[in-house]
Chains A and B, each alone.
Chain A
Amino acid sequence: MTKTPRFWRENKNRYNLIGVKCGSCNAVYFPSRIICPDCGRKSMGKMDKFKFSGRGTVYSNTVVHEAHEQYEMQKPYAIALIELEEGARVLGQIVDCEPYEVQIGMKVKSTFRKLGQDGKSGTIYYGYKFVRERE
């Protein structure tokens, strides 16, 4: 079944790392939430759009050797939990460096890459991945 509608709905967020900020406690979330889990009903109607800078550090990481078929060409590749500088944590692939170079605490920034496609005749999905931030 095509994933086009699901991806399309989240394009803006996925292209530009857009999440939300709770107007009650200022906590930031990615992906977006309708209600802040800490503030509950106090946050209703106060979850505002928030754009992350894309900069962050590796919180935890691993190397994938048994890949999804769309990532066969890229294995082995690094996946990491990134702590964004504004606070939220996101899962993302680290590209443009050797997978075993990735270490906890490494500074990264987001980049725009192809995430997958609906077969050879379907739509192509794009979004964020991360690259090492070079000094």
Chain B
Amino acid sequence: MEIGIVSYGAYIPRFRILPEEIGRVWGLDGKGFGKGLMIEQKSIAGPDEDVVTISVEAARNAMKRVDVSPEKIGAIYVGSESHPYVVKPTGTIVAEAIEATPDLTVADYEFACKAGTAAIQTCMGLVGSDMIEYGLAIGSDTSQGAPGDALEFSASAGGAAFLIGSKDVIAKINTTLSYTTDTPDFWRREGQMYPSHGGRFTGEPAYFKHIVSCAKNLLGKCGTKPEDYKYAVFHQPNGKFPQRVAKMLGFSNEQIETGLLVPQIGNTYSGAVPLGLSAILDEAEPGDRIFAIAYGSGAGSDGFDIAVTDAITRFNRKAAPTVREIMANMKAIDYATYAKYRGKIKLSCEE
């Protein structure tokens, strides 16, 4: 059975803020922060947008590209660290909004920035075991950093959805595997508005250890070398880390540039690798091979070896906008507007 991506769709909110604007407010060298992180701007959800609305828009874009009845979707998993409800699934609202209810299973996932790829793996398992015909895996976030914290320069909003199945597969997932340990590099406790990060745990023992280990295991299992892949996409908390990890593993800048979106939209957390992979599928051709490694704090990595099939030539890519077309519809806002939109200002009418 050939299991893989049958369709995909993306969504990124329209608003952007520049690092120099964040730095201006907090007395920091914003331009320097932006340069260091390789982030020129980050996306921000509007006041009426959240993980539900981003997930629905991404899912609808995925469904526009194929002639698959939503009633055939047997599972929806939404991965996010910013679900609007702590108790009540995002996925049920998405299922109703794409008319996939009621004969399906739904659950929300959380694994920092890799909950969306964990959703892809679950759907693969359910399709592969013939429990469902199609599964919808979504990675979506409206992540926030505490005001003035370094995370505020990168934490952004966006998401992508993948219809996983075994018929008319446009990108076959040859192999997937994960690498997981208990690493306290980043967390958010119940009831806390902003996450905390474990300083020295960020970087080497977290991002690099997990991505490199997962990538080496995947290359070993597939018997492949970096040069066998046309494209590669790594989790992108900033612009530097994915470039460095690509170099460590032997991938070139040309291989990662299509899926490297962080300089223009920031770190979309659970949306990061799903959006990067969507940008690659926007231009991929039959025979192209894609190497994708997500990373989620806490910590773990999910790796995917993907081969684009001939079915992509018959696939209606134009039925929904490409990632870069979505990114082009943007408006920069100042810090005050950003604070207003993201609920950083308390109003007297609020409870």
Chain A residues within CB distance 8 Å of chain B: 11-12, 15-16, 69, 72-74, 95-96, 111-115, 119-121, 123-124, 126, 129, 134
Contact = CB atoms under 8 A, between A and B. Distances in A.
B84 interface: yes
A124 B48 contact: no
Contacts of A129: 48
A74 B47 contact: yes
Contact of A115 (B48, B350, B351): B48
Interface residues of B, number: 25
Given A73-B340, A112-B56, A120-B350, A16 B50 contact: no
Contact of A112 (B46, B60, B84): B60
A123 B85 CA distance: 9
Given A72-B349, A119-B351, A16 B99 contact: yes
Interface of B: 14, 46-50, 52-53, 56-57, 60, 84-85, 88, 93, 96-97, 99, 329, 340-341, 347, 349-351
B46 A96 contact: yes
Contacts of B341: 73
B349 A73 contact: no
Contacts of A119: 350-351
Given A73-B47, A96-B14, A124 B84 contact: yes
Contacts of A73: 47, 340-341
A124 B52 contact: yes
B96 A15 contact: yes
16 contacts: A11-B96, A69-B347, A69-B349, A72-B347, A95-B48, A112-B56, A112-B57, A113-B48, A113-B49, A114-B49, A114-B53, A119-B350, A119-B351, A120-B350, A124-B84, A126-B93
A123 B99 CA distance: 21
A49 to B, nearest CB: 11
Contact of A126 (B60, B88, B97, B99): B97
A131 B72 CA distance: 29
Contacts of B88: 123
Say whether chain A's binding surface is mostly helix, strand, loop, or mixed: mixed
B84 A121 contact: no
Contact of B52 (A11, A95, A114): A114
Most buried by B among A72, A74, A114: A114
Nearest to B337: A73
A15 to B, nearest CB: 4
A82 B351 CA distance: 34
Contacts of A112: 53, 56-57, 60, 97
B97 A124 contact: no
A134 B97 contact: no
Contacts of B97: 15-16, 112, 126
Contacts of B50: 114, 124
Given A69-B349, A96-B14, A114 B48 contact: yes
A128 to B, nearest CB: 10
A114 B350 CA distance: 17
Given A12-B96, A72-B347, 8 more contacts: A15-B96, A73-B340, A74-B48, A95-B46, A96-B14, A96-B329, A112-B60, A124-B50
Given A16-B97, A72-B349, A126 B47 contact: no
A69 B349 CA distance: 7
Contacts of B14: 96
A67 B57 CA distance: 26
A124 B60 CA distance: 20
A114 B53 CA distance: 7
Nearest to A124: B84
